[in-house]
């Protein structure tokens, strides 16, 4: 079995490219496992700044299955996202073995996020595994990988200061908004969406003293969310949202529910329906101005768009009196983190990844150690037999070795043999693990080379 990850994030791609790549992410995992026989399991992480596929592949050492599986995955992603297979292949970074675990553990710990140390990603990693279980696409190895990632994230949070800084995209956005808003205890907020970021937004607003919080959901889930978070639900309907916006100082939009209309394909014409368009915001500002009465102008409205698949029409930024902060803005304003803290967190991740790999690849190593122990037992048996013969020769024909004599001889022989065996066990296990890693890496190197070669051939034919 080979672990492979295909990852794309804000570090490798601009957010527009990442959005196109992940636009069909909902069904990719099921499709991959259902149509590609070598793939035994799949988990998909799709967030506001990353799209990652983790695959458990049953691959022979010649690499053909891995090459087929990886190319097939790229084709599926391309078909679901409306991009070409070549773009999909070029967009992904392929990892294997220790690299897979080390990357996922770093992601879960918030070390690969726009805001280093953000805590929301740990929950997103857990949900990705939960969704894979629900879809029936996980595997024993992926279960172990993702559960270990969650434990490692907790270790980083507890053993470094990253866990106590409260870093997140939501917090960063609210900090930026706070530079323009009235003080948060007097501010009025509207949250669009009811997912994990919505819950984090409620908590972050309350931490800043904001108590006037309303929530809107186009799918009708606002009432349940409001009841569970002690906020006020906005009725479904565009005019209800406009009315809420007219009274708001800050809007946090994190639904990711934008719709696309039109044929799929890299060159297809599509129309986009945003959750919040410029016309609705303009109407809200007109109502706010009318309510301002003798004031020169209403307070500015700050809108945070935290959805990768933009909730808010970019033209909203052109509406008078509106400040729009999207993911690109937040990325540009993400704070630096103390180098020593990040290095400590990476050390924790590295150790955890190494231990995970020893567990995952331990079967080959364990087999080598068992063979060594069998050899040691054979040596002990031979020594005992020889020692018993010597004892009986000394005792003569009228004596003989008793059971206690044999047991004492066996204990002594086993102590001597096993004392000399420890260093050999360590060496044999390390060699077996290294060989297993190299065989796996060779398989994936072959898959990557085949993918690049296939792409080059297609380009030359074109």
Q: Give me 306's structure tokens.
A: 């935290």
**pLDDT-derived band at 370, boundaries 50, 70, 90:** confident
Question: Burial of 243 by CB count in 10 Å (0-12 exposed, 13-18 middle, 19+ buried)?
Answer: middle
The residue that leads in pLDDT, 28 or 422, is 28
Taking the C-alpha atoms of residue 29 and residue 77, their distance in angstroms, rounded to an integer, is 10
Strand partners for 2 = 57
Q: Give me 265's structure tokens.
A: 């394909």
- For the chain, give every domain's residue range: 2-162+341-360, 169-332, 364-440
The residue that leads in pLDDT, 42 or 459, is 42
Residue 279: the pLDDT is: 93
* Averaged pLDDT for residues 207-233: 93
pLDDT in tens, 28-72: 889 888 888 888 999 999 887 788 999 998 866 555 666 777 778
- Specify the range with the lowest mean pLDDT, choosing from 41-45, 242-246, 254-258: 254-258
Evaluate whether the domain defined by 2-162+341-360 bears CATH number 3.30.460.30: yes
* Other Cβ atoms within 10 Å of 223 Cβ, number: 15
Of residues 268, 255, 247, the one with CA closest to residue 221 = 255
* Averaged pLDDT for residues 326-352: 87
* pLDDT at 11 exceeding the cut of 60: yes
pLDDT in tens, 123-179: 889 999 999 999 999 999 999 999 999 999 999 988 988 766 566 788 888 998 998
CB 75 within 8 Å of CB 67: no
Evaluate whether the domain defined by 169-332 bears CATH number 3.40.50.720: yes
Which residues participate in catalysis according to the annotation?
A: 48
Give percent of the chain above pLDDT 70: 82
The residue that leads in pLDDT, 455 or 426, is 426
Residue 318: the pLDDT is: 94
Residue 14: the pLDDT is: 64
pLDDT in tens, 98-110: 789 999 999 999 8
Q: What is the DSSP track for 398-449?
A: T----HHHHHHHHHHHHHHHHHTTHHHHHHHHHHHHHHHHHHHHHHHHHHHH
The residue that leads in pLDDT, 448 or 375, is 375
The residue that leads in pLDDT, 319 or 259, is 319
* pLDDT at 269 exceeding the cut of 50: no
Between helix 422-461 and helix 64-81 the angle, nearest 10°, is 50
Residue 102: the pLDDT is: 93
Q: Give me 386's structure tokens.
A: 């020889």
Residue 265: the pLDDT is: 46
């Amino acid at each position: 079995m080979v672990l492979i990850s295909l990852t794309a994030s804000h570090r490798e791609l601009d957010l527009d490219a990442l959005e196109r790549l992940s636009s069909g992410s909902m069904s990719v995992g099921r499709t991959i496992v259902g149509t590609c026989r070598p793939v035994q399991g799949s988990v998909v992480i799709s967030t506001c700044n990353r799209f990652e596929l983790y695959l458990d592949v049953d691959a022979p050492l010649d690499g053909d299955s891995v090459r087929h599986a990886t190319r097939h995955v790229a084709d599926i992603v391309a078909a679901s996202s409306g991009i070409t297979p070549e773009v999909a292949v070029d967009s992904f970074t392929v990892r294997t073995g220790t690299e897979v675990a080390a990357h996922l553990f770093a992601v879960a710990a918030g070390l690969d996020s726009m805001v280093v140390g953000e805590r929301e990603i740990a929950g997103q990693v857990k949900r990705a595994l939960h969704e894979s279980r629900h879809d029936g696409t996980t595997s024993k190895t992926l279960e172990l990988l993702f559960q270990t990632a969650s434990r490692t994230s907790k270790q980083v949070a507890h053993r470094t200061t990253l866990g106590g800084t409260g870093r997140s995209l939501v917090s960063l956005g609210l900090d930026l908004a706070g530079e323009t808003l009235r003080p948060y205890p007097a501010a009025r907020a509207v949250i669009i969406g009811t997912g994990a970021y919505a819950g984090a937004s409620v908590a972050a607003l309350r931490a800043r003293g904001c108590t006037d919080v309303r929530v809107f959901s186009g799918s009708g889930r606002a009432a349940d969310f409001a009841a569970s978070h002690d906020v006020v639900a906005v009725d479904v309907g565009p005019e209800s949202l406009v009315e809420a916006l007219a009274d708001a100082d800050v809007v946090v939009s994190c639904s990711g529910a934008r719709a696309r209309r039109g044929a799929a394909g890299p060159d297809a014409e599509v129309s986009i329906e945003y959750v919040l368009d410029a016309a609705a915001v303009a109407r809200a500002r007109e109502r706010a101005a009318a309510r301002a009465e003798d004031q020169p102008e209403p307070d500015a409205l700050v809108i945070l768009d935290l959805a990768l698949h933009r909730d808010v029409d970019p033209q909203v930024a052109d509406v008078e009196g509106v400040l729009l902060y999207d993911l690109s803005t937040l990325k540009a304003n993400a704070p630096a983190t103390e180098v020593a803290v990040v290095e400590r967190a990476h050390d924790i991740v590295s150790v955890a990844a190494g231990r995970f790999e020893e567990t995952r690849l331990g079967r080959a190593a364990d087999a080598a150690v068992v063979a060594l122990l069998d050899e040691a037992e054979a040596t002990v048996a031979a020594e005992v037999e020889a020692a018993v013969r010597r004892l009986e020769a000394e005792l003569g024909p009228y004596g003989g070795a008793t059971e206690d004599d044999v047991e004492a001889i066996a204990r002594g022989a086993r102590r001597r043999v096993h004392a000399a065996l420890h260093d050999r066990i360590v060496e044999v296990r390390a060699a077996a693990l290294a060989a297993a890693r190299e065989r796996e890496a060779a398989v994936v190197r072959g898959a990557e080379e085949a993918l690049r070669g296939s792409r080059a051939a297609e380009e030359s034919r074109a």
